[in-house]
Amino acid sequence: MPEVDDVDPAEHVGIAGILDAARRGYHTILTLKFPYNNASFPEPGSEAAAAELDRLDRVLPAVMGRVDIIMIGNEPFIESLPAERDHRLNEFYETVARHVIDHRAEHCGENCATTLYMGALNRLDLEDNRTPAAERWMTFVRETPEIEGVSIHPHIPGSENARPFVDYILPRMRAGQTFLVTEFSLVWYWKQHMSDTVSAGFASTYGFAPDTKIWEVVQAAIDDPFREHQWHDFLTSCDWFMQQSGFLQEQMRLYRDTGRLAVATYGFRQQEDMTTNMGPDKDPWLFNSVFAPYTAQSRDSGMAAPGYWLDAFRSLQNV
């Protein structure tokens, strides 16, 4: 949200991109992200709180009725100070949500094309995150008729860790509400293996020392992107990676079998910040991506090289 302070919201790169996608017939989700991980939430009724609502009043006219879904909040229990993940978090986001609801009612009407979700809850597989504030979050979702449901972000260390997310949210929603999965991945599983040694076969084939670590191979691919087949060979040579080869299908089966999934989305391409400061402690988001423009050379057509997940991603569009 602070990024729109110095630009017409309709011209902000993220908003302009999503509006262009909507004009071309794609379904769209816009997330309103409030980064308070380095500052306190504004006091209710304060000038700072009013300024935050003023930002909303600049953004909402550009997107309301034009995007399919507005998600209120990105990862509130991460994008906040740990000490304020209590009633203060709830009060801030409930105020924001009511402001968005009122704007929609006043400017978009009963048949508004934009629906509203609260988002998104993280690491619900850990009991410590099922807090009174999380309970109040779900109570607000359930008891606010204008809210269609909640989003979850199951970034997890194993496929089995996703079920606690749906087991937590579904009983706390009213009948007919649905949920979003706007992000999901095995990033914490990948991270456990960054200091593993590369397979002997890959090392021999591509000239790496036998004791080369996984993160060192990734760094080599960032420094001088591999040919597409080499990046694929690297991933498939990792037994721990291939043990999760059915991850996308397993996750989508879990979410769809609830009968309550509205939309799930998946990380489509590597981004530059995934490649900086690579090392054994780097969060390896780049393993998730459907396309791998930063670790593999583009094809002659200019299309980014696929990562491992393209075939699964495509097949799931037709299920």
pLDDT of residue 191: 98
Domain assignment present for residue 169? The answer is: yes
Omega of the bond prior to 120 within 30 degrees of 0, cis?
Answer: yes
pLDDT of residue 104: 98
Burial of 23 (0-12, 13-18, 19+ CB in 10 A): exposed
Q: Which of 184, 201, 217 is the last residue of a domain?
A: 184
170-202: pLDDT as tens digits: 999 999 999 999 999 999 999 999 999 999 999
Domain assignment present for residue 142? The answer is: yes
* Enclosing domain of residue 60: 2-184
pLDDT of residue 115: 98
pLDDT of residue 246: 97
pLDDT of residue 319: 72
Domain check: are 13 and 139 in the same one? yes
Amino acid identity of residue 57, one-letter, is D
Query: How far apart are alpha carbons 155 and 258 in whole angstroms?
Result: 19
Burial of 193 (0-12, 13-18, 19+ CB in 10 A): middle
pLDDT of residue 256: 97
Domain assignment present for residue 260? The answer is: no
Domain assignment present for residue 132? The answer is: yes
Strands 178-181 and 261-264: parallel
Domain assignment present for residue 205? The answer is: yes
Query: How far apart are alpha carbons 111 and 102 in whole angstroms?
Result: 14
H or E element at residue 183: none
Domain check: are 219 and 238 in the same one? yes
Q: What are phi and psi of 178, to 5 degrees?
A: -125, 175
Domain check: are 106 and 84 in the same one? yes
Omega of the bond prior to 49 within 30 degrees of 0, cis?
Answer: no
291-305: pLDDT as tens digits: 999 999 999 888 999
Domain check: are 236 and 203 in the same one? yes
Question: Do residues 103 and 63 lie in contact, with contact meaning Cβ atoms separated by under 8 Å?
Answer: no
Domain check: are 195 and 166 in the same one? no
| Contacts (Cβ under 8 Å, ≥6 apart) of 231 | 221, 225, 292, 295, 296, 305, 307
Query: How far apart are alpha carbons 54 and 180 in whole angstroms?
Result: 27
Domain check: are 110 and 200 in the same one? no
pLDDT of residue 318: 81
Question: Do residues 18 and 30 lie in contact, with contact meaning Cβ atoms separated by under 8 Å?
Answer: yes
Strands 115-122 and 261-264: unpaired
pLDDT of residue 217: 98
3-state secondary structure of 131: coil
Domain check: are 14 and 148 in the same one? yes
Domain check: are 100 and 205 in the same one? no
Domain assignment present for residue 252? The answer is: no
pLDDT of residue 63: 98
Query: How far apart are alpha carbons 5 and 7 in whole angstroms?
Result: 6
pTM: 0.95
Domain assignment present for residue 127? The answer is: yes
Q: Which of 169, 184, 199 is the last residue of a domain?
A: 184
| Contacts (Cβ under 8 Å, ≥6 apart) of 191 | 282, 283, 284
- Which residues of the chain carry a pLDDT beneath 50? none
Domain check: are 178 and 198 in the same one? no
Domain check: are 36 and 102 in the same one? yes
User: How far is the first Cα of the chain from the last one, in angstroms, to the nearest whole number?
Assistant: 36
pLDDT of residue 301: 84
Count CB neighbours of 306 within 10 A: 19
Name the domain count of the chain: 2
Distance, CA of 211 to chain centre: 34
Q: Which of 141, 166, 184 is the last residue of a domain?
A: 184
Domain check: are 146 and 225 in the same one? no
Domain check: are 92 and 200 in the same one? no
Domain assignment present for residue 256? The answer is: no
